[in-house]
Amino acid sequence: MSPTANGRLIVFAGPSGSGKTTVARAILERHPDMVFSVSATTRSPRPGEEEGKNYFFLSKDEFQSRLANDEFIEWQRVYDDLYGSLKKAVEVHLNCGTSVVFDIDVRGALTIKGKYGPRAILIFVRPPSFETLKSRLRERDTEGPEELRKRLERAAMELEKAGEFDYIISNDILTEAIAQADAVVSAVVANASAPPVSR
């Protein structure tokens, strides 16, 4: 297909613990014609994570040199590491008419909207309340108290930006959040206007 083909950028963002990764993965399963934007990061792989599947794991120097070469659509420092969406990996798909799904932070999502305008659909996945987010993160128990504090602080900043997104989905019951996200994505790719989602 031509470079003007209609691949969309479907961007999921929201605070750590909102369930955005689970929702994004479920959308990819339901839409096998879409691809995931594998980000680059300087953080170390977690158990079970694979190079090129979850992330491209780069050293800080490698990341900086790609940054200097203008290889990212967007990038951010999140907590103590750098994360970025790679231009090359994304644009090759968009140019073939394939839609690309992102699972990135809120600021990165807004950068993508600024660059791609209406081709980018921003979906904010939020927890039903800040209290629920706190208890989810505590139950997940993957972070120490300092990490937890950082995540909650960042979550507050991210929640403030929800109004800048095209859609907001409250992830109270996961199956319902996935169904809502699917309704939005299916309508978007069918080029129809997506159904309204409660805010």
Residue 46 DSSP symbol: P
- Binning the chain into helix, strand and coil, the percentages to the nearest 5 are 45, 20, 35
Q: Contacts with ligand 5GP: how many residues (CB under 6 A)?
A: 13
E strands, the chain, are: 9-13, 35-36, 39-41, 55-57, 72-78, 81-86, 100-103, 120-126, 167-170
**134 vs 187, which CB is nearer to ligand 5GP?**
134
| Residue 101 in the binding site for ligand 5GP (CB under 6 A) | no
For the sheet containing 55-57, what is the strand order?
Answer: 55-57, 39-41, 81-86, 72-78
| Residue 104 in the binding site for ligand 5GP (CB under 6 A) | yes
E strands, 89-165, are: 100-103, 120-126
Residue 167 CB, nearest distance to ligand 5GP (Å)?
A: 17
| Residue 16 in the binding site for ligand 5GP (CB under 6 A) | yes
**8 vs 151, which CB is nearer to ligand 5GP?**
151
Residue 13 near residue 108, CB atoms below 8 Å: yes
Residue 131 C-beta-side C-alpha neighbours within 13 Å? 0
| Residue 42 in the binding site for ligand 5GP (CB under 6 A) | no
Residue nearest to ligand 5GP (CB): 108
Residue type, 147: E
- Contact mark string toward ligand 5GP, 66..85, x via CB under 6 A: --------x-x-x----xxx
| Residue 43 in the binding site for ligand 5GP (CB under 6 A) | yes
- Pick out residues in 110-169 that bind ligand 5GP (CB under 6 A): none
Residue 104 CB, nearest distance to ligand 5GP (Å)?
A: 4
| Residue 178 in the binding site for ligand 5GP (CB under 6 A) | no
Using CA atoms, how far apart are residues 139 and 143, in angstroms rounded to an integer? Answer: 10
Binding residues for ligand 5GP, per CB under 6 A?
16, 39, 43, 74, 76, 78, 83-85, 103-105, 108
